[in-house]
Amino acid sequence: MRIGFGAPVAGAWATPLYLGSFAERAEALGYASLWSFQRLLVPEGSGMEPVYRSVLDPLVALGFLAARTSRIRLGVATICLPYVSPAVLAKQATTVDVLSGGRLDLGLGIGWMPEDLSKISEAVAVVREAASAAGRDPAAVRIICRGVVHAGEEAEGPDGGRRLLSGSFEQIREDTAGLSEQGVTELFYDLNWDPRIGSPSVTPEAAAERAGEILAALAPR
């Protein structure tokens, strides 16, 4: 399984300094990819997570990262198509791909919903069956998954048990191996949803210190 990293694009650590430095460190540590995400609107009083209050544009951020890196792939998960012009998006994405030397992975969607990783194998099966029906090699299809990490604490999952990718670093690594067995070909650890990192209320320095420790501890072996 390939291991990627969610770039600092939301909350306190989403600054030019940390966006560039974390990208360079992730590349040096052997991570396979860097990922951004899109969030355009947050309805006032909606109760949505604090991370959504301050999010950099995904493609502009990746264009910035293209100039700070040379090998690591650059992805966005995902662009919500109903909100954008296909022609403008195509031009923007192609520009990032050209400037990065062909390193862009563009994720497209029509909305969003909470992730339930414990059932990822069911979704993988649907995708691979559809690929086979279309005459494509199911084994060649990339299954890329965002992994919202809660390091150092066992967060509760939707079924009441421990949420996957929470707890100790060893538990997180074991969960990663389990996701690989379920058909996931690439997982990127995303810290933007950690309230001590992605929340606008923490200091950039404190957010970066915590994120740096997790980045190093979960680096690909």
pLDDT in tens, 159-203: 788 999 999 999 999 999 999 999 999 999 999 999 999 988 899
Domain span including residue 91: 2-217
Over 70: is that where the pLDDT of 102 sits? yes
* Banded model confidence at residue 22, pLDDT cuts 50, 70, 90: very high
Task: Report the pLDDT averaged over residues 6-12.
Answer: 95
- pTM beyond 0.85: the answer is yes
Task: Report the pLDDT averaged over residues 118-144.
Answer: 93
37, 55 contact by CB (below 8 A): yes
* Strand (E) or helix (H) holding 80: strand 73-80
Q: Which amino acid is at 191?
A: L
* Banded model confidence at residue 47, pLDDT cuts 50, 70, 90: low
Task: Report the pLDDT averaged over residues 75-96.
Answer: 95
CA distance 208 to 6: 13
Task: Report the pLDDT averaged over residues 5-27.
Answer: 97
Task: Report the pLDDT averaged over residues 136-149.
Answer: 94
| CATH number, position 72 | 3.20.20.30
Over 80: is that where the pLDDT of 45 sits? no
Report pLDDT for 160: 81
Report pLDDT for 79: 95
* Banded model confidence at residue 114, pLDDT cuts 50, 70, 90: low
- What is the count of structural domains for the chain? 1
Over 60: is that where the pLDDT of 34 sits? yes
Report pLDDT for 144: 95
DSSP string covering 2-55, please?
Answer: EEEEE-S-BSTT-SHHHHHHHHHHHHHTT--EEEE-------TT----GGGGSB
